[in-house]
Amino acid sequence: MIKLIIFDFDGTLGDTRRNIVTTMQMTISELGLSGRSDDECASKIGLPLGGCFEALYPNESKETIQRCADTYRRIFQENLQTMKPQVFPKVIETLSALKQQGYTLTIASSRWHKSLSELTSDLGIADYISYIVGADDVEKAKPNPEPVLKTISYTGFDANQTLVVGDMNVDILMGSNAGAKTCGVTYGNGTKQELEEAGADYLISNIDELMEIVNLGY
């Protein structure tokens, strides 16, 4: 029986694609780097911030990649003043229903912990989330299982009681590498094919479909 549900944030709970891609493009422009398309930028969502830019610019120095990450964080916070992200449809209702049914709900994200805390509060979902693991809370990021294992250790559940929900292949791989069940959401930044190839146990096109999956009890 599933008791613990670990959610990714960007592209799973929060509809932040526009914020992320816009900020990445502004960062690239400010630092004078060669251009990348919106789709190229979006395809890196889910990686740690430095990893996003390293994947886009594999030949750049570590110093340049760090400048990208620092510049991105500054611009992202500035953009929040005029570009407010939203939760995906039915997220609040689904989280509320799951919590009422006794499931423990947490987040494991490649976003920094402080940003996650602020966004979950701003989006009205903080009260449903019992524990947050951000990129700066672990040594090894997705697809390494450390974020899931850290959450399992904190909450006291076992991997076979855990479901990881995310929109990118790194989310699915993170969950399966930890021995947990996995559910891919197809409305986010990853494709259905990528989620299938990563080995997702379940695929859903709307977050409220999660209710049926967890209530099946495997």
- Domain positions in the chain are 4-15+85-216, 17-79
Q: How far apart are CA 27 and CA 207, in angstroms?
A: 31
- Architecture of domain 17-79 in this structure: Orthogonal Bundle (1.10)
pLDDT at 102: 96
Is-catalytic flag, 15? no
Enumerate residues 6+ apart whose C-beta is below 8 A from 70.
none
Catalytic residue among 10, 15, 167, 171: 10
Q: Is 94 exposed, middle or buried (0-12, 13-18, 19+ CB in 10 A)?
A: buried
Is-catalytic flag, 8? yes
- Identify the band that residue 218 occupies on the pLDDT scale cut at 50, 70 and 90: very low
pLDDT at 69: 96
Q: What is the dihedral of CA 187, 192, 195, 199, to 10 degrees?
A: 130
- Domain 4-15+85-216 homologous superfamily, CATH: HAD superfamily/HAD-like (3.40.50.1000)
Instruction: Flag whether pLDDT at 35 surpasses 70.
Output: yes
The per-residue pLDDT for range 111-168, each reduced to its tens digit, is: 999 999 999 999 999 999 999 999 999 999 999 999 999 999 999 999 999 999 999 9
- Identify the band that residue 217 occupies on the pLDDT scale cut at 50, 70 and 90: low
Instruction: Flag whether pLDDT at 216 surpasses 80.
Output: no
State the average pLDDT over residues 159-180.
Answer: 97
Sheet holding 104-108, edge to edge: 131-133, 104-108, 4-7, 162-166, 181-185, 202-204
The per-residue pLDDT for range 59-95, each reduced to its tens digit, is: 999 999 999 999 999 999 999 989 989 999 999 999 9
Enumerate residues 6+ apart whose C-beta is below 8 A from 123.
13, 14, 85, 86, 87
Cis peptide before 85 (omega within 30 of 0): no
Is the pTM higher than 0.85? The answer reads yes
Inter-residue contact 117 to 86 (CB < 8 Å): no
